[in-house]
Structure 1
Amino acid sequence: MGFSKSNEQRTRVMSALDAMRQQIGLVLGAARAGREVAETELAGLELEQKVVHAGLDEAAQDEEILAALRRPAMSQVSSWLNTVRAQFHTDASTVPRRLRELVAETSAGAGRLPPGEWLGKIGTGSAPPELWRVGSAALSTSDPRDRFDVAVPLLDESHLAITPAPKTREQVDALVEALLMRVLSSVEPGAVRVHLWDIGQLTSVLPNLYPLSKTSALTLYDPTRLQDLLDELSGHIRRIHAQAMQAGHTSLRGMRAALGKRTEPWRIAVLFGNGETWATEPLRELKRIAGGAHAAGISLIAVDVPHVLGGSVENIRLLDERRVVTSMTGPNLVAQLDPAIPSGQVSGAAGKIAEALIARQGGPRSFADLLPPELGKANSAEELRAPVGFFEGDPVEVVIGDSSPHALIGGPSGSGKTNFLYALLGSLAARYPPDELALYLLDFKEGVSFAGLAPGRKDATWLPHAKLIGVNVNTDREFGLALLRFLSDELRRRSTAAKEHEVTNLAGLRQEDPDGHWPRIVAVVDEFQYLFAGRDAVTNQATALLEDIARRGRAQGIHLILASQDVAGIEAFWGKPAVFEQCTLRIAMPKARRVLAEANTAAVSAPRWHAVLNHDSGVAHGNQLAHVPDASGKDVFATLQRRLWDAYADEHDRPRLFDGAHSPVLEHVPAFGELKPGGAVTALLGQSIDVEDTACGIELAHAPGRNLAVLGTAAAEALSILDSAARSLARQYEEGAVEFLLRCPVERCLPAVERLAEDLVAHGHRAVVLDSLAPTLAELVAAEPETAKILLLYGVDAELPSLEVKEPGQLKSGLDHLRVVLKQGPGKGTHTLGWWRGTARLKDTLGFGGNDDIGAWAALDVQGSELSPFAAGQVVHWSPRPGRALYFDRSTHATPEVIIPFLRPDRENP
C-alpha cells in the first residue's frame, strides 16, 4: 500500500517535470525567435542609418550596403528605401517650386530680385521683407528648374553669423555689401542705420558704401574703439526699452505695429573679426546686446567672430569662394553665392540714397521751423516740451519736468551756446503763454545776450514771458544771489500752498487750485560760475541756495538752466555733487568738455551749429545730436518777440531789466515816484541789487544816530549818493518845512553842490551853500530849530583843521559843536549827511565812543577790513569796485549790502 502511494507521487512529479521542460523549451524557442527578430530589426535599423548618412545616391554605389540589402532578411529595408526614393522623387519635383513661392511671399522687391531691377532706385517701403536673398541652391544639378532662392532673415527677425573660408574676405565683403544694399534699397531713406567696425582695418571697410557716411545712415568706428560701438548699442537698447515699456509694449516692433508708423530707425551693426577670441568683458557685453537687440530693432552681422551670440542667429559658412552652407537650408545642401555687385554700381546707388536722405530731411532748417502753427496752446502743468533743433529732418526736443528738472549747458566761446539759448527760449515761449511759463534770465558775462528781450531805445517790445532780465552782472555776484533768494522764497510759497492742498507736485497744485497763478518758472543763468568766483559769503550762500532749489524745485515747477563755458573750474561744487546730479538734462555744444558724463566724448566731434542733447545725466546712450538753426541773427528772434508782444503785452508788465554796466537814474526808480510829504522821511541813496526794482535808503527818524557817512575818495559816487539823498528828501517835505545847509570845502566838487542847491530852491525849499561851517554849527547847537534841517557836508575831513581851532574866548571848537549836532541833532530834526574821504578822519571827527552817532554809512573805495569798527565789530567782506557802494544801516541790516549809486542828472565827473 505504501509502495503504491510512492509510485503515484513519483508519477505526478515526473509529469510536472515534463510539463516544465516543455514550457521551458517553448520559452527558449520563443526567445531565440525573438532574438533573431530583434537582431534582424537592429540590423535593418543600422542599415537604414548607413543609408541615411551616406545618402540615397551614395548608398546606391556602396558595395557593402548593396550586399546587405540583398539579404532576404533586409527585404523590408529594401522596400522602405524604394518607398522613400519614390516619395523623394515625387516631392523633389515640387520642393523647389514651393521654396521659390515661400521666398517670394516673404521677400519682395530688393529683398530677392536681381540687382539690376532695384539697384540705384530709392526705397519707399515702411515694412521691410522678412527674408533677404544671398544666393541659390538646387536639389540636383541636372534640371535648372530644381534651383531655388537661398535667403536669410534680418532686421527684427535674426542676427547673422558669417564664417569665412581661407582667402575669402573679398567674397565676404561682397556678400555683406549686397545684403546691406538690399536692405537700404527696400525701405525709405533714413529708416535703417548701419554701423561698421573692423578689428583689422582703419579704412576700406566696405568702401563702396562710404557715400552714405555724410549722413547718419552709415557710421564707421575706429578698430581700437569697439567699446564706443558697444556703448552706443547698449544705450540704444536701454532707451528703446524704456520708451516701449512706458507705451505699454515689449518691443520696438510691437510699438511700431500699434502706432502704425516707424518711431525709430532699424540698426544693423556689422562687426568684422579675425577669428581670434575676444576679451571677456567685450564678449560679455556683445552677448548682452545680442540678447536684447531684436526688441530694440538692432540686428548684428558678425563676420569671423568665433562666439555664440544671444537671441535668434542664422549662420552662413563659406566652403570656398562661391559655395556656402547656411543654417536655413541645413548642412547637407550646398548653396551658390550670388555674384558680387560691381563696386561702381554699389557706390553710385549709395550716393543716390544719401542724396535722397538729405533731400528728405528738407535741407537746412530755420528758426521758424521750431515754432508751432499757433502760439500759446500748450499747457505746462505736467512738463515743458519744445524742439530746439533737428536731426535728419526730425525735431529734437528738450523736456523739462519732474524727470529732467534742471539743465546744464556747456560750450566754449563761439560754440553757439547763446544761439542755443535763444532757440530754446523762443521755442518755449511760442508754445506756452506767459501764464504757463515765467522766465528769469541772468547773464554774468560782459555782454547783452538777453538785453534784446527787454524794451530798448530802438525796439520798444519785450518778451512777455520774461519777468527778470539781468545783463552785464559779471561784477555783481550779489544779483545772482538775489535771484536765488527770490527763487527760494517762491519755492517756500509753493511748498506751503501744496501742503495746504495736500498735493506733492505742481500738476496737483494747479488741479486743486485752478484760480491760483502757478506757472512753471525757468531761471537761466549764463556763466553761472561767476556766482562762485570768490571764497566768501556770497559763494557760501549761493551754493546752499542753489543746492536746495535744485533738490526741491522739481516738485514745485521751478527749473534751473545753468550755462557755462568751462564747468571744470567751479571749485565751489567740488565734493558737493547735489546740483550736478539734479541736472539730468545735459546739453553740450561742439568741443565742450565735462558737461556730459566723463567717458562721453560725443561733443568733441560734434559739427558746428550742432548740440548734443542728453536727458540721462550725460550717459552716452542718451545722446541726441541736433542741428540748431540760427535763432540769434538779426531780426530772427525779434520777429517772434513782436508776435508774442502783440499777443500778450497788454496783460503782462514789462520785465525788470538790471544792467550792471549802467547806473540807474533816480527819477526812473518806482520808489522815487512814490515819495510824497507825510509819513516817514527816507533819503534814497542807491539801487538795491535785487530782483525787484527797489531803492535803498536811510530813514531819518527823530532818533539817535540817524545820520549818514559816505566813506572813500571816489568823488563821483560820493556826490551821487548825497545828491540822490537830497533830491529824494526834497519830495517828502512841504515847501518851507525843511532847510538844506550845504558845505563843500573841496574846490572841484563845488559846482555840483551849487547846482544841487539851485535845484532844491527850484523845488520850493531853502537851500544855502555855506561859506564856513563853524558858525552854522554853533547856531544849531545854541538854538532849537524851527524847521527840519538837512546838513549836507562834502569832504568833512578837509574842514576838520578849521573846525578844530577854538576861537578866542570860546570853550568849544567847531568840531565839538559838530559832535553835538551828530549826537543830539536827529532828535531835534537835524540830520547830517556827510562825506569823509577816509575812515581814520571819520574816527577823528566822532571822537571816543562816537561811532553810534553815525547810524548808517556807505563805503566806496574803502577796504572791508577798515569798516569793521562801524559794523558792530563783524568781519566785513568788501573789495571796492567802480560804481558800487557798500551800505550798512545798523537799525535794519544784519550785514552790509552792495548798492548802486544813482546817476547824477548832470552826468559829469567833478
Structure 2
Amino acid sequence: MAKILTAGQSISTLEKLRQTMEELGGREKALIASRDRELKSIQQKYALENARFKRQAEAETQKAMEALNEERIRLESHFALRKVRIDHAYENAQKALNEAAEQTRSQQKYENQKELLQANRAHDADLQSVDHVRKSFSAELSNETQRLENSGGLGWRVFKGYGNFRRWLRDGGQPSPGEVSFQDENALLESLKSQLTELESSLSFSVHNALARLFSFVSIWLILCCLGIGGAIVFLMPQVSDAIGATQNRILIGFGGMGGLVMIVYAMGYILARGAARSFVNSFANCTGLIEQCQLAANRSREDATASAREVLQTIESRLEAAWLDADVSATEQCERGLNKLLPQRNRLMARHESMLATALKRLSESRPSGLDNGNFAFHEKDEKGETDQQALQTEVIRRFDQEIGDVCSDWNRLIPAWCSDLNTSREAVRQMEQTWNTASTQGWEVPLSGEPAGCFAQITIDWKEFAPSVPTDSSMHLPKGACLQVPMVFKMPLGESVLFESEGPAPEQIIEAINHTALELLLTAPAGRMRFTLIDPVGLGKNFAGLMHLADYDDQLINRRIWTQPNQIEQCLFDLTEHMEKVTQMYLRNEYDTLGEYNQVAGNIAEKYHVLVVSDFPTGFSESALRRLHNIAVSGARCGVFLLLHRDRRQAMSEDAVVHDLREHCVWIQSQKNGYRLGAHAWTGVHLNWIDRVKLQDTVHLIHQIGQANVDSNRVQVPFSQITPKPDACWTQDTSASLKVPIGRTGASKLQYLTLGKGTQQHALIAGKTGSGKSTLFHVIVSNLALWCSPDQVEFYLIDFKKGVEFKCYAAHKMPHARVVAIESDREFGLSVLERVDQELRRRGDLFREKGVQDLARYRSAEDTQPLPRTLLMIDEFQEYFVEDDHVAQNAAVLLDRIVRQGRAFGIHVILGSQTLGGAYTLARTTFAQMAVRIALQCDEADSYLIMDENNAAPRLLSRPGEGIYNNRNGAVEGNSPFQTVWLNDDERDTYLQQVSTLAQNHASKETGPVVFEGNAPADIRDNHELVAALGIEPSGDPEETCAWLGAPNSIKGPTGAAFGVQSSSNLLIIGQNEEMAFSMIISSLISLAAQQSSDRAEFIVLDAFPDHSAKREMMDQVIAMLPHRVRSLKHERLEDIMERLETHMDRRAEHGAVHGEIYFIVIGLQLFKKLRPEDEFSFSANEEE
C-alpha cells in the first residue's frame, strides 16, 4: 500500500504548498476542462455497455439458478416420497406384527370356544342323563306309591269297620325296629317293593276273612241303632208286636239277643283281625318312610351328579382361561419383540435416508450450472475488453492534452512535485482504503497480513481560489480534479498523532460517527490481532460506542471487554494503560528502540499490539489521578503505541489547564465553530473540514461481525520452535549437574526465555492457564527441547496426563529414551502409582547419596564409581484431578507430592504441575505450593492470577493471546515478572524432532528399554508383555505348578494382568462382555500364553468356536493353532458330542486314579452359540418360533 500521510503530516505539507502555490499560475484550466469532458464521455459509454453486458449475464445466471432450484425441488420430492415409503413399510410391518399377535389370540380364542362348547354339551348331556334317571326312578317310585295307596285304600275298606283300626290307620304305625335305612335309592326302592309285596300278601289274607270284613260294609253302630230303634218301636208301639204276633217282651228279648250276638260277632272279628290290622298299619308306615327315603336319596343323587358335572365344567373353563391369558401374553411379547427389532431398522433407514438426501443436496450445491460459468465468463471477458478499450481511449486523450499543456506541467512539476506527490499518493491510498471500506461493507474483505493501521476520520477541502490565487486542477500536475483539493485527515500508526475533538456540549453525532468509523477502519487496515481499544463513555453510558460492542462477541480483548463509564472504572483503565506503557518502555523499548513500531519490526510475529484510548465527553468522570494518567498517555503514549481519540466538552471546567494545553499540543486539534468544524491550530482561508460521508453506523453491523470473525484467532502468535532448538552438533551436549536450563520461548524482540530448575530456590514449577492458552504446547516444548539438549543420562521424564486426550502419546509412540513413565488419559490410581514410583526413586537416591557421603546431584556425579543419575522431571498436566474426590487417592497423592517437592531438590527430582485453574486443588497443602518458586502464568482470569502468583500480582489477567505468558521465579512476586511468548510446536514438527531423538539414541547405543506406557482408553499391545516375550524365547520343561493366561496391561506400575491356572478346583476363567473383538483378542492372548509356558507333550487344547469359514477370526484362529506345537482339537476334527464324551472320560479316569497326566485346556469361544452345551431344562425365548 502506498504511503499514507498522517493528519499532522498532511497539515504540514499543506502549509508548505500554500506558500509555494501562490507563485504559480493556472494556464491549463481550459485544456483540463475539455479533457475531463472527453474522459467522462468515454467513461459513460463504457458504463452503459458494462451495464448491458451485466444484465445479459444476470439473465443467464437467473436461468441457471432456476434450473438448479428445479433440480433441488425434484430431489427433495423424490426423497420425500422415499421417506413416505419407509414410513409406510414401517407401518405395514407394525400392522403385520399386530395382526400376527391378533391371529394368535383369535386361534387361541377359537380353540377355547370349541373346547368350551364341547364341555357345555357334555355338561348338558350329563344333566339330561341325571334327569332321565331321575324321571325313570320317579315313575317307578310313583308306581310303587300308587301300589301303596291302593293297598292303603284296600286296607281301609277291610279294617274300617273297627274304630281302633281306623284310628291306627289315621295315626299311622311305627316302622319295624329291625328295619335299616339305605342310602342308595335303588336299594331303598327294592326294599319298598319287598315291603309292598309283604303288605299285599298280608292284606290278601284279611280280605278273605269274612268275619273281619263283615263290619267294613255295615257299621256295628248302625246295626245296634237299628236294633234299638226296632226295640223302641216295639216297646212304644205295642200294636207292632200285635201285628207281628209275638209278645212285646219276646220281641224285645229277641232284639236284645240279636244285639248281643252282633257284639259277640264284632268282638270275634276284632280279635281275629287285630294282628293283621296291626301288621298292616306298621307295614304301611314302613313303606311310607321308604318312599320318603327314596325321594330324599334320589334328590341327593341328582344334586351330587349335578355338582360333579358343574365342577368338571368349571375345571375346563379355568384351564381355558389360563390358556387364553398365556396366549395373550405370548402374543403381546412377540409383538413387542418384533417392534423392538423394527424400530432400530427404521431409524437406520431414516438416518441413511437423511444422509443420502444431505449428500445429494450437497453434491447439487457444489455443482455449478454451466449457465453460471458461461454468463460470468462472458461478462468478465466483455468487461475486460471494454476496460481495455476505455483505457486505450483515455490514454489517447491524455496523450493529446499532455502535448498541449506540456509547458505548464514542466513548470509545475519542477516547483512543487514532491509535496503534491505526497498528498496525491496519500489521497489515493486513502481512496483505496475507502474502497476497501465500501467493499467490506457490502462484500467483505481480505484481512491484511501486514501494513500500518490507518483510519480517515475527516477530510480537508482546499479551495484553490481562496487558498491560493491560481490553483491547477489537472491531476497530471499532481492536484486533484476540480477546483478543490481534498486532503484526508488520517489517524495512523505507529508514527501518527492522537486526535482531539472539541465541541460545545456533549459529543455531537458527527464526531461520534467519525470516531466509530475511524476505529473500524483501523481494524480493517490492521493485521488481525494488532489493535486493541479502550472505550470510555461516561455520559452516554456506552451508547456512543454501542456498535463496537459486537466485537466482544468474538474477542473481548478487542475492546478491553466492555465500554467503561464509571470514574473508578476509568481510573483503572488508565492505570492498566500506563502500566502497559511502563512494561513496553522498560521491557521492550528501553534505549534500543525509539518507538513501538521499530520494536515490532524486529519482533516480527511477537509484535505488541497498538492501543487506542477512545473517550467521549471528557473530562466527565475523570478524577485528578485519571487526568494525570491521561496527561502521561498524551505526552508519552505514541512512543509506546498508545494513542488517543478523545472528545472534549468545552463547557466542562477543568482544574488542570496544563492537561488541555498538552492535549492540544500533542494531538491533531479539531474544534467546532458556528458553521462547522475547523483545524484548531490553523486559521487558513479556503480550508473547510468535512466529515467523511459513509454508511450509517447502524448499517455496518454485518461488517463489524466480519471484523470480529476475522479476529477470532488473531491472538495466535507462532514463534518457530526451531529458534530455541540446538544445532545438530549441539544435541545431547548440555550438562545438568548444576541445574536444568532449557529455552521455552522469546522475551522481548530477540532474547530467549529459559526455564531454570535446580538453582537456588528454583526447584519446581507451577504452570496455569485456561483452555486454549497454550499450556499443552508449553509442556511439549519443555519435554521436546530437553530431549534435544540433554541425553537420557542427564534428564528423565515421568509424564502424567489427566486430560481426556492423548497429549503425551507421541513420546510413547517414539519410545523416547528419556521417558520412564508415560500416562495417557490416566486414571487417578495409576497416577498415584507413578507418585509412589518417584517416591521410591527418591528413597533410592537418598541411599546412594548416603553411601557416597554427598548432599546434592553435582557432588554425586563428581564422585568416583557412580552410576549415571539423571535429573528427574515429574510433569503432571491437570494435577488437580488427584483431588477431585476426598478419598485415599487424594490423601496419599497430597502426602507424596508434598514429600517429593520438599525433599526432591537435593536429589535432582523436580516437579512441574500444570492446571487450567487452581481453584480445585485446595486439597493440596498451600505449603506445597510455597515450595514451587517458578510460576508460569498463561492466559487466566484475575482470581487464578492471584492464586498462581501472589496476592499483589494480577499481571496475568492482562495476557491476551495464546502462548503469551509471564515467567516468574520469585514465588509470584511482582518484581519477578518476565513476559514471554511460548514457541509454537505443531504435531508434525514435534514428531520430526522426536524421530531425531530416536536416531540419536540409536547412534549412542542407548540401553534404555523405553517408557512404561499407560493409555487409559487404548488396548494393550501383546508385544509389550515382556514376560510373554521371555516365555516364548525359552523351551518350557517339566510341569509348572501354575500357568498364567496373560490378558492385558495393568492400570498401575506392575507386571501384566493375567489369570493363574493351577491344579485346584474352580481354576477356570469366564470372559463376559459385548466387545467380541476384545474378548477374541484375550482368548488368543491366553492361548499363546498357556502354550508358551508348557511343553507340547504336557498340554492339550480343546477349542470350540463357531466362526464361519474364510472369516478374519477363523483365519487368525487357524494361523495360531497351526503355529502351536501342542495337540489342538476342534470341531473341524471331531463332533461336539465326541469331544464332550472324551473330556468326561478323562475327568472320570483322573478322578479315579488321582493322577494328572498333562494339562487340558477347554476353550469355548461364543458359549451362547453352542446350544448343545445348555442344560436340557433350560428355557430360551426368541422373537419367533424359528429362532
Provide TM-score, normalisation by structure 2: 0.37
Q: Which has the higher helix share?
A: 2
Q: Which has the higher strand share?
A: 1
Provide TM-score, normalisation by structure 1: 0.46
Flag the structure with larger Rg.
2
